[in-house]
Chain A
Amino acid sequence: MIFSRNALWSSRRAFRFCLILLVSLAAGCTRYARRADLVIVNGPEPESLDPAIITGQADGRIALTLFEGLTRYNPTDATPLPGLAERWDISPDGRTYTFYIRTKAVWSTGEPITAHDFVYSWRRVLDPLTGADYAGQLYYVKGAEDYNTGKHKDPGQIGVSAVNDKTLRVELVDPTPFFLDLCAFQTLAPVPRNVIEKHGDRWLMAKPLPVTGAYTLVSWRINDRVRLQKNPLYWDAANTHCEVVDLIPCTVATTALNLYETGQADIVWDKELVPVELLDKLQKRPDFHTYNYLGSYFYRYNLNRKPFDDVRVRKAMALAVDKKRLVEKITRAGEQVASHLVPPGVANYKSPEGLGYDPDLARKLLKEAGYEGGKGFPRVDYMFNSVKTHEKIAVELQEMWARELGIQIELRNLEWKVFLQAQSRLEFGLSRSSWIGDYNDPNTFLDMFMSNNGNNRTGWKNQRYDELIRQANSKFDPNEREKTLQKAEILLVREEVPIVPLFFYVGQELYDTARFSGIYPNIRAEHPIRTIRVHKQPLEQTSLTGKLAANDHAR
């Protein structure tokens, strides 16, 4: 016989071998013997956990849990409370801050946290070689901008110094009313010098990793989870409630919802992770929470391109957009329509009204500009990155402009990096945009449209606007500052209109207040993990939240 038996036999053996291999592999992957006390679906996988270099919100939430700064956020309203600094003095002109660091404050490895740690960490952020995209958060400090932009090479000229081991002095360029807010932001948190110098880029994988925050890093497996454990040496460890916390990365809304609904996750706290289609149902549930959020959705005109160099065209298109339809039909989470850029609820500021919805006026303006009924209007594009919500909004806008003004707009969806490049190079007609505030102050929205700001991306340059913003920020009196900023915003959204705000984002989160307390809606969507408490027995909702809130204030 030509065909021997052993071939079949050997294939059987191969099969058995594969089976054994598979079972052993599958058995080997039972890694997490214990479910964490708290499991949170956190958003995209963190690109980094190094507080100096991260930009993502999901990354920031973890980094802040590990690394606390001079101040920390109040869980109820995200205002700054004393953190590693127990108190501070502010000079009468508002330009010099002296921070007194707690004597109790130690790294999780036991060494004391000193003012020198802060000096090192802030210099590190400002060193161009660190590659910190958020270095701008420190530009309010004297000499910081020049060091970061390479105008001088001497870190000693930066206005941050250690008076002694526990006293830090900071000199600012302007009286910056939101500086304490910035001190709670992750970019300004202290990082362990010796570990970074020893391990380089991979310092976060060091064991043990010295941290200053309420939790230490147990493991960080990419796309799997970040596991945190309570830091017993944290100065406020007595008020840290959960022992072990898992943060799960996830970018598919349905998957996040599945995890939450089956109890595999306790909290979903990324607004991108709530399926839009279900909002009407979810909004009737007590465990779904929406609230004002420090983010705006708008579109940019490219003023370097015809016909957007004509302010009448910009206004006409803005007036033809039925923003109410967008929030009711597309986003559907109770977003407020926006006529101005700065979201409502921001600290120390109330925005002036911008342009509303007025198709008749829109047609009139377009006629004046010479494009009656859309005749002769150049073919322009509306550019957006490939995300379903942006696409739906784009489709609506296209239809509105066609219907009201007779303008044909071409939709162009680009993948993210191409989109960003096209936007910064001004290779578009109209561009979808959004902005999330970096600190609780109108300046985080308004200064980006100054002529030389890298985030302007409209081709709009207005000296008066630049002057107003500069004036406002050098003012110490909050009322005067507010008025000047309002003048600037009027210029932006009512008179010049290089951008058209569409709506304000709302925070959207899933958690059951009967089982989890110590988590509160606030404009920053900032929920310190240390205050979250799990109740095995579901408790009365109202009284409990009230009591805990009172506790937190008292502290």
Chain B
Amino acid sequence: MSDAAVSVNALSLAAADTREHLSPNQQAWRGFRRNRPAIVSSALLGVLVLLVVLWPLWRTSTLSDLVPRALTFSPTELTDEPFSAPNPTHWLGTDANGRDILSRMFYGARISLVVGLVGAGVSLVIGVLWGAVAGYVGGRVDNVMMRIVDILYCLPSIIFVVLLMALVENQFRAWLSGTFSPQLGGLARMLLLFIGLGAVSWLTMARIVRGQVLSLRTRQFVHASRSLGAGTARILRRHILPNVYGIIIVYVTLTIPSIILYESFLSFLGLGIRPPQASLGWLISEGALQINPIRIYWWMILYPAGLLGLTLLALNFVGDGLRDAWDPRTKE
């Protein structure tokens, strides 16, 4: 049994609903491992993560002698060869400032993944808390909380992002630079982007979790636990959350790609991350300008778009695989 399955096993002990000798979570993992596209995608994502994590290491350390020169360019280093096509020096060509596309893709993928993960994480925390409380407490509280969600649904999310960037960014940067270090101040835009993207995508999560909790709340094992004197927090932690765990994972995997896509839209509007940093979305929004009837710098759009497409595809396959594995309705 793999490590992942073991760690999940520990969690699944909490689940009260054990019909067979395998817990639902164990069954799910078994199902997931049978899903070939999902496994391939996981491997692909693993490689990608490994690459973008290791990339700065081999680029800057002594290891840089061991890898080809083409892999060690700096994503922010300007050269005198703007728009050069892929060649032995720059494997994937260069952009308008003469920067190496391959290194910018490593860099962009890194940021896009982080944005997606952290954004999804933020939405997860807010969404689960909100949904669980609303669903569990019920009654008037539930009503008010869900009306708030309804209202927020009606406000286009771009308003929040523009508001956040315009209103808070300056102060936030000043605060970061002052309290911590100037370097951190430079990351203000990115941190805000995390918060902003997470904050606009928690609504669906809250609805899903609330729905699940609402149906779990009336189940017998919860009643039993409550009559044994368990408090609200304990019931939520021990009985409710472990049972919505599956659907949460599934939803998170599907949120990551949509956040990455949304960030590319923000980059198109100039609200994305701050140059010279770059995300895949930023690279694409610049590459899209290159598609015109006179000449196409195809490498500037094809590679970043390809990598983004591949990443999103893999994330979706993994998400699907997880869902198929967890959702009892789709089992044969």
A contacts B: CB pair < 8 Å? yes
Size band of the A side of the interface? 20 to 34
Q: Report A366-403 residues with CB < 8 Å from chain B CB.
A: 379, 386-388, 391-392, 394-396, 398-399
Contacts known (A388-B289, A415-B166); A394 close to B83, Cβ less than 8 A? no
* Contact (Cβ within 8 A) A278 B295: yes
For the complex, is A275 an interface residue (Cβ under 8 Å from B)? Answer: yes
* Contact (Cβ within 8 A) B289 A275: yes
From B80, B270, B275, A415 is in contact (CB under 8 Å) with B270
> In angstroms, how far is the closest chain B Cβ from the Cβ of A106?
45
* Contact (Cβ within 8 A) A418 B166: yes
Q: Report B55-109 residues with CB < 8 Å from chain A CB.
A: 76, 78, 80, 82-83, 96-98
For the complex, is B290 an interface residue (Cβ under 8 Å from A)? Answer: yes
* Contact (Cβ within 8 A) B294 A411: no
Contacts known (A277-B297, A329-B98); A413 close to B275, Cβ less than 8 A? yes
Residue-wise, chain B 171-199 has the 8 Å CB interface mask toward A (1 for contact) of 00100010000100110000000000000
Q: Chain B residues near A399: list those with CB within 8 A.
A: 76, 78
From A253, A257, A276, A330, B293 is in contact (CB under 8 Å) with A257
For the complex, is B170 an interface residue (Cβ under 8 Å from A)? Answer: yes
> In angstroms, how far is the closest chain B Cβ from the Cβ of A456?
22
CB nearest to B173 among chain A residues: A412
> In angstroms, how far is the closest chain A Cβ from the Cβ of B266?
11
From A329, A410, A412, B97 is in contact (CB under 8 Å) with A329
For the complex, is A427 an interface residue (Cβ under 8 Å from B)? Answer: yes
Q: How far is the CA of A261 from the CA of B185 in the complex (A)?
A: 45
* Contact (Cβ within 8 A) A257 B292: yes
> In angstroms, how far is the closest chain B Cβ from the Cβ of A529?
26
For the complex, is B51 an interface residue (Cβ under 8 Å from A)? Answer: no
> In angstroms, how far is the closest chain A Cβ from the Cβ of B85?
13
> In angstroms, how far is the closest chain A Cβ from the Cβ of B270?
3
Q: How far is the CA of A278 from the CA of B294 in the complex (A)?
A: 7
Q: Chain B residues near A417: list those with CB within 8 A.
A: 166
For the complex, is B39 an interface residue (Cβ under 8 Å from A)? Answer: no
* Contact (Cβ within 8 A) A410 B185: yes
For the complex, is A149 an interface residue (Cβ under 8 Å from B)? Answer: no
* Contact (Cβ within 8 A) A261 B297: no
For the complex, is B238 an interface residue (Cβ under 8 Å from A)? Answer: no
For the complex, is B310 an interface residue (Cβ under 8 Å from A)? Answer: no
From A379, A395, A427, B275 is in contact (CB under 8 Å) with A395
Residue-wise, chain A 261-286 has the 8 Å CB interface mask toward B (1 for contact) of 11000000000000111100110000
CB nearest to B276 among chain A residues: A395
* Contact (Cβ within 8 A) A253 B162: no
Residue-wise, chain A 238-277 has the 8 Å CB interface mask toward B (1 for contact) of 0000000000000001100110011000000000000111
CB nearest to B82 among chain A residues: A329
Q: How far is the CA of A398 from the CA of B77 in the complex (A)?
A: 11
> Counting chain B CB atoms within 10 Å of each CB, which of A277, A388, A410, A422 scores highest?
A277
Q: How far is the CA of A391 from the CA of B274 in the complex (A)?
A: 10
> In angstroms, how far is the closest chain A Cβ from the Cβ of B177?
7
From B80, B166, B170, B177, A329 is in contact (CB under 8 Å) with B80
For the complex, is B114 an interface residue (Cβ under 8 Å from A)? Answer: no
Q: Chain A residues near B324: list those with CB within 8 A.
A: none
> In angstroms, how far is the closest chain A Cβ from the Cβ of B39?
39
CB nearest to A421 among chain B residues: B166
* Contact (Cβ within 8 A) A261 B271: no
Contacts known (A396-B78, A411-B275, A411-B276); A277 close to B96, Cβ less than 8 A? yes
> In angstroms, how far is the closest chain B Cβ from the Cβ of A371?
16
Contacts known (A277-B289, A413-B275); A392 close to B294, Cβ less than 8 A? no
Q: Chain B residues near A276: list those with CB within 8 A.
A: 96
Q: How far is the CA of A157 from the CA of B185 in the complex (A)?
A: 55
Which residues on A are within 8 Å of B, measured CB to CB? 253-254, 257-258, 261-262, 275-278, 281-282, 329-330, 379, 386-388, 391-392, 394-396, 398-399, 410-413, 415, 417-418, 422, 427
14 more CB-based (< 8 A) A-B contacts, given A257-B293, A329-B80: A261-B293, A262-B293, A276-B96, A277-B289, A281-B294, A379-B177, A386-B269, A391-B275, A392-B97, A395-B78, A413-B270, A413-B274, A415-B166, A427-B170
